[in-house]
Chain A
């Protein structure tokens, strides 16, 4: 329940930003609806005095009044909804902006909620749920409730007995509807989860298609996703069926006020207690009241669904960002390239990856970080570049605490190139310039040439996933990106893992050219690269250990002796 309240608070905070406009829309819509109450009353006068008492002037007057009321009501309805749609569209955009911003702040592998399909469902369909919350939701419930109260008062004034009798089935139907909706909200939540899982599964299958084919497991994957599909459809069907069964009962109960009003009304008319006009008006008003009560239950359902969506969104928003300190630090001053780390600790998925790492790197120094697989090299690089914050410890650039600096301003000077380069569909030039869209063609060309992909035409179209680029070329697109930014501290994660000797040698040459002007920190397992470093730091089990003690150096030596 606490979670639900939080989810509601979260979604409504976006609505609250536009509270004045929403209030205006509310007021307009309420007046538009209240005006509708006038029509049965006009018809009452018309029947009792105009038609039954032969007063043609009243006919014309009533017709004109109805037109006037209609024009006002329709106009206000239009204005009110116009404003509401405007506001809900903006609020959804705001929400999506915040969601994407948060997703981009999350560390890798930490938040399953933020992975591929899950994040996509939240950014698209779950967030669209906010529209329903604003256009329906509490605002509409309040309006309909006010409308119901006014209708009830008018009905009671017209005839207490008929109103009260007609009210009984209405309340019973409303209570029943609410009951089933409360019950089904859990199923609705489950279905949303299934959909999200299905989407994730499809995205995963597409990404892993080669593996699925390699093991001939197409049928298995199909079955797995098909299973989710079946279960989801089954649950949806159950939900619909239960809802259908209930609503056929409630619709029967809801139909009862009509014959009840008709019968009791007819008796009252024949007994002379009320006029025919009053009965017709009462009839119309009871139906309107019924509609209002029905709408309240519908909108309550909307709120429940909004709560489910809100809860899903909140789970994503509550995933802790990679950077613990807020993003709004001060702008990074020009840095010299000095970097120090003290007592760095980090864990991923409950597993301690770094356990008290100290490191000091001087401007212009070329340091390689080596160590066995799973030793924490990549995580350390991420922390050194302030892509994520450590659980404990501090990183400083020129003795400035990294946590005090605005991360985005830092990226122009401290850059960590991931091991796997992201290639999106577009030209080679687009892919390089994504890091600095203002770069000129010649700058892009120069970066590409320096990174060793000068032979690729900048306007060559790459497919998403870049099946047509070799691993080395991919790596070099990444390097070209880095060169275009030209940071003072450049961190590279295993950049030559997939390069052949010659390409690696050329890559190293490029790095060696770079090091005169900047600090280089490279995580690597390649002996060739480590050999060129000013210093080799070895990371074993999350701690820096003496270089000579490691198996890696032994392996490097064998490599070297074999050659020498």
Chain B
């Protein structure tokens, strides 16, 4: 079984830089109007990082002063720490304000574009490519994208600034000692990058498994009535469990691998600490000048390298070697205090890079939707029409090779009431859908008041033609709101008048809260027939010159169907009306009946003349009205 929701995931390219470029290029337009805010966010992040480093340095110095017992200096350091804390919290406030603003603006803009694109797709795209699942996933993606912007992007900046600041700091203290460390930094970055790369496949896999889960859920949620009807609940649950289990395994596995990385880094802190205690301690004992033995020279040479490899703690090592015992003791103490804080950027950057793989998937999907071609709104704008319709050699198919309409030519005069009948699958609904440009014909021309439909803007076509489909699609909200959807400015009285005119008022009034009754999610609280009547009233309120009723009241009881159609016909006097129906009683009042079979027009005449002679119409009529027969004819009804 293919999964409708299977996304078209762009494979994670091995080349992160490449995709990153695409991401930057595509999302730059969202960033551009927020340049000032973005710059402020960057600036405050950098300042915050540098100030954090300064705070640590101050504490180190403070402890060193304690060792030498300088109380005046310590008081100054304490005050300095309070001042730094104050500056940090102010900076934090500003940083939050700008990142939150940036965040909000960009997510709103991206999500708004997604929503907008969703409403502007042509129906053919809609059916083929977008499922509810896919769309909803994209909404989740926008959220992920937001998280990425604030926590990841600025987080990476924080880590990078941290590294750069540490490097500059070290260089200023002791260029000789620091040089080998700086050589080691790119090496570290490479190791982190490699680790991340090894996980990126799993990230991708995790996302795919999750998509399967969401896709499966969305589909099954739609099919709940059928699943219940056939008693397939347990089977569906079992299938879901299997999918969820696959996701759980990969998700848990990835989480556990991340924990192993975190634990390993934790252990690295301890290794660093143990080495610092030993080598640093030795140095302090020897008043900063280590002996000349090979061991000490080796130790002195190794230290920065060791720290660098273990996690950028070369600063401590360098400070320990460059200064006297007091400062070294302070360094040691500070290191004990700040190990976590110092190593966090190292750990974070690997996480952040890991999530880059995730980001690529997210942005890829957002772009998939944004790149779908919108339905064209180009074309001439049509004023009010008289209702003259011409189909000229129109052919159409949903999928190549299976034609639905073949060479249809048909002219409908203004004010004519035309009926289209034919066996199931003859192409009746497709024919009327072409009329509102939901789909485009493969060949041939459709004209509205002499204008080629293809040259007209679809919205302006729809402002003149309304199709009431068999499947009445309602929205969550009251019956009143649903009818008013056609014309938001309509008053309550106008809404009720429209319902009354088509004979729906009686049914609606019988609902528990009349017009204020909640229709429920997609109208599920109303019966199918009730939904159809509400939809019909809605179409009448729209007041269009051309009205197409495509099996619009097929689920309403026959007596009411006849009454509703009679009322509607009266309402449509002077307008062009097309009624698609299978219950032939409904078409007996039509000016003309067109019989469609296998995508072709096989008969077209007044109902009376069609019934008088042999032909497809008569066959259909006979089939529909054949008396009860078969082997069991007893009937007590």
Interface centre among A78, A259, A471 (most CB of B within 10 A): A259
Which one of A237, A481, A500 lies within 8 Å of B101 (CB-CB)?
A237
Is B424 at the interface (CB under 8 A from chain A)? yes
A-B contact pairs, 11 of them (CB 8 A): A39-B336, A67-B270, A73-B266, A77-B262, A89-B252, A96-B244, A280-B336, A422-B223, A463-B128, A473-B425, A505-B623
Our pick among B120, B221, B270, B337 for the contact of A119 (Cβ within 8 Å) is: B221
Main secondary structure of the interface of A (DSSP, over half): helix
Chain A positions within 8 Å of B13 at CB level: none
What's the minimum C-beta distance from A335 to chain B, rounded to whole angstroms? 14
A505 to B103, CA, bound (A): 61
Among A263, A322, A351, A500, the one with the most B-chain Cβ atoms within 10 Å of its Cβ is: A500
With a cutoff of 8 Å between Cβ atoms, the chain A residues found around residue B436 in the complex are 213-214
Please report which residues of chain B, range 252-278, place their CB below 8 angstroms from some CB of chain A when the two chains form the complex: 252, 255-256, 259-260, 262-264, 266-267, 269-271, 273-275, 277-278
A410 touches B281 (CB 8 A): no
Instruction: List residues of A (175-217) whose CB comes within 8 Å of B's CBs.
Output: 195, 198-200, 202-217
Whether A266 touches B65, Cβ cut-off 8 Å, given contacts A124-B217, A241-B96, A252-B89, is: yes
Among listed A11-19, A101-109, A142-150, A151-159, interface-contacting one = A101-109
Tell me if B278 and A63 are in contact (CB < 8 A).
yes
B417-436 residues with Cβ-Cβ distance < 8 A to A are 421-426, 429, 436
Interface string of B270-302 (1 = CB under 8 A from A): 110111011001101100000000000000000
Residue B453 at the A interface, CB < 8 A? no
Q: Per-position contact with B for A265-292: 1 when CB-CB < 8 Å, else 0?
A: 1110110000010011001100100000
Assess whether A211 is in contact with B473, with CB atoms less than 8 Å apart: yes
| Docked complex Cα distance between A119 and B558 (Å) | 37
Task: Give every chain B residue within 8 A of A547 (Cβ-Cβ).
Answer: 637
User: Which A residues touch B143, using CB under 8 A?
Assistant: 195
Alpha-carbon separation in the docked complex, A416 to B116 (Å): 40
**In the assembled complex, B613 has its CB within 8 A of some CB on chain A:** no
* Segment of B22-30, B355-363, B464-472 in the binding face: B464-472
Q: How far, in angstroms, from A534 to B521 measured CA to CA in the complex?
A: 37
Select one of B96, B438, B623 contacting A213, CB under 8 A. B438
Question: Of B31-39, B169-177, B228-236, B343-351, which binds chain A?
Answer: B228-236
Known: A71-B270, A248-B96, A435-B232. A116 touches B132 (CB 8 A): yes
Which of A89, A97, A213, A425 contacts B462 (CB under 8 A)? A213
Choose from B235, B474, B520 the contact partner of A437 (Cβ within 8 Å). B235
Residue of B whose beta carbon sits closest to that of A123: B217
Task: List the B residue with the shortest CB-CB distance to A226.
Answer: B112
Q: How many A-B residue pairs have CB under 8 A?
A: 559
| In-complex Cβ contact of A50 among B77, B126, B255, B281 (8 A) | B281
Q: Mark A241-262, 1 if CB is under 8 A from B, else 0.
A: 1011101110110011011101
Cβ-based interface call for B381 (8 A):
no
Given contacts A59-B281, A422-B223, contact A74 B263 (CB under 8 A): yes
For A509, the closest partner residue in chain B by CB is B630
Give which listed residue, A39, A82, A101, A222, contacts B273 with CB less than 8 A.
A39
B555 touches A351 (CB 8 A): no
Q: Which of the 9-residue segments A300-308, A338-346, A548-556 touches chain B?
A: A548-556
Tell me if B118 and A104 are in contact (CB < 8 A): no
Please give, as numbers and ranges, the residues of chain A lying within 8 Å of B285 by CB-CB distance.
51, 54, 56, 59
B1 and A255 contact, CB distance less than 8 A: no
Known: A77-B266, A104-B224, A409-B231. 4 other contacts (CB 8 A): A70-B267, A245-B96, A276-B66, A525-B555
Given the known interface contacts A203-B136, A501-B620, the answer about A208 and B274 at a Cβ–Cβ threshold of 8 Å is no
Q: Are A237 and B104 in contact (CB under 8 A)?
A: yes
Majority secondary structure of chain B interface residues (helix, strand, loop or mixed) = helix
Task: Mark each residue of chain A from 447 to 472: 1 if its CB lies under 8 Å from any CB of chain B, else 0.
Answer: 00000000000000101110110111
Flag if A233 contacts B81 (CB, 8 Å): no
The 4 closest A-B pairs by CB, nearest first: A70-B270, A411-B231, A472-B424, A501-B624
Expressed in whole angstroms, the Cα–Cα distance for A212 and B119 within the complex equals: 8
- For the complex formed, measure the closest distance between the CB of A261 and the CB atoms of chain B, giving whole angstroms: 9
Is the beta-carbon distance between B583 and A526 smaller than 8 angstroms?
yes
Contact of A497 among B260, B423, B488, B554 (CB under 8 A): B554
| A78/B558 in contact, CB under 8 A | no
Rounded to whole angstroms, the CA-CA distance of A391 and B608 in the bound complex is 51
Whether a CB of chain A sits under 8 angstroms from the CB of B168 is no
Binds A, one of B68-76, B183-191, B443-451, B570-578: B68-76
Distance in angstroms between the alpha carbons of A564 and B476 in the assembled complex? 45
The distance in angstroms between the C-alpha atoms of A40 and B74, with both chains bound, is: 22
Please tell me if B333 contacts chain A, counting CB pairs below 8 Å. yes
- Which residues on A sit within 8 Å (CB–CB) of B21? none
Contact assessment for B337 and A283 in the assembled complex, using a CB-CB cutoff below 8 Å: yes
Question: Which of A279, A351, A435, A515 interacts with B66 by CB under 8 Å?
Answer: A279
CB neighbours (8 Å) of B221 from chain A are 103, 116, 119-120
Of the listed stretches A2-10, A370-378, A392-400, name the one at the interface; the rest are far from the partner chain: A370-378
Given contacts A241-B96, A255-B81, contact A207 B625 (CB under 8 A): no
Q: Does A424 contact B (CB under 8 A)?
A: yes
B-chain residues with CB within 8 Å of residue A252 when the two chains form the complex = 85-86, 88-89
**Once the chains are docked, how many angstroms separate the CA of A123 from the CA of B488?**
35
In the complex, the answer to whether A47 meets B75 with C-beta atoms within 8 Å is no
Contact B555 A497 (CB under 8 A): yes
Q: Is B497 an interface residue (CB 8 A)?
A: no
State which of B139, B270, B560 has its C-beta within 8 Å of the C-beta of A372: B560
Report the interface size for chain A: residues with CB under 8 A from the other chain.
Answer: 200
**B153 contacts partner chain A, Cβ-Cβ < 8 Å:** no
Residue A132 CB within 8 A of the other chain:
no
A505 with B626, Cβ < 8 A, contacts A210-B123, A233-B107, A263-B78 known? yes
Q: Please state if B233 and A276 are interface contacts (CB–CB under 8 Å).
A: no
Q: Which of A59-78 contact B (CB under 8 A)?
A: 59-60, 62-64, 66-67, 69-71, 73-75, 77-78
Per-position contact with B for A490-518: 1 when CB-CB < 8 Å, else 0? Answer: 00001001111111110001001001100
Say yes or no: B429 contacts A81, CB within 8 Å.
no
Smallest beta-carbon distance A480→chain B, Å: 12
Q: Is B627 an interface residue (CB 8 A)?
A: yes
> Quick check: is A421 within 8 A (CB to CB) of the other chain?
yes
Contact of B88 among A106, A255, A266 (CB under 8 A): A255
A47 and B116 form a contact (CB under 8 A): no
The reply on A443 being an interface residue by CB < 8 A is: no
A418 near B: Cβ within 8 Å? yes
| A104 and B225 within 8 A (CB) | no
* Given A221-B119, A437-B235: A47 in contact with B337 (beta carbons within 8 A): no
Q: Determine if A385 is an interface residue (Cβ-Cβ < 8 Å).
A: yes
Question: Which residue on chain B has the smallest CB distance to residue A387?
Answer: B228
Q: Give 1 or 0 for each of B315-356: 1 = CB within 8 Å of chain A CB.
A: 000000000010001001100110000000000000000000
The reply to whether B139 and A85 form a contact with Cβ atoms under 8 Å apart is: no
> Is there an interface contact between B126 and A220, defined as CB atoms closer than 8 Å?
no
List B contacts of A216 (CB < 8 A).
459, 462-463
Beta-carbon contact of B248 and A93 below 8 Å = yes
Query: Residues of A contacting B65 with CB < 8 Å?
Result: 266
Q: In the complex, how many angstroms separate the beta carbon of A196 from the nearest chain B beta carbon?
A: 11
**Cβ B85 vs Cβ A236 within 8 A:** no
Partner of B111, one of A43, A229, A499: A229
Whether a CB of chain B sits under 8 angstroms from the CB of A117 is: yes
| Cβ-defined contact, B93 with A245, below 8 A | yes
Residues in A with CB closer than 8 Å to B632 are 366, 512, 515, 534
Q: Given contacts A124-B217, A419-B528, A505-B626, are A70 and B273 in contact (CB under 8 A)?
A: yes
A348 at the interface (CB under 8 A from B): yes
Distance of A178 from chain B, by nearest CB (Å): 18
Taking a contact as CB atoms under 8 Å apart, the answer to whether B127 and A93 are in contact is no
Q: How far is the CA of A125 from the CA of B217 in the complex (A)?
A: 13
Interface string of B1-14 (1 = CB under 8 A from A): 11110000000000
- Distance between B473 CB and nearest chain A CB, rounded to angstroms: 4
CA A269 – CA B329 in complex, angstroms?
A: 15
Q: Which of B332, B524, B559 contacts A108 (CB 8 A)?
A: B524
The smallest C-beta distance from A387 to any residue of chain B, in angstroms, reads 6
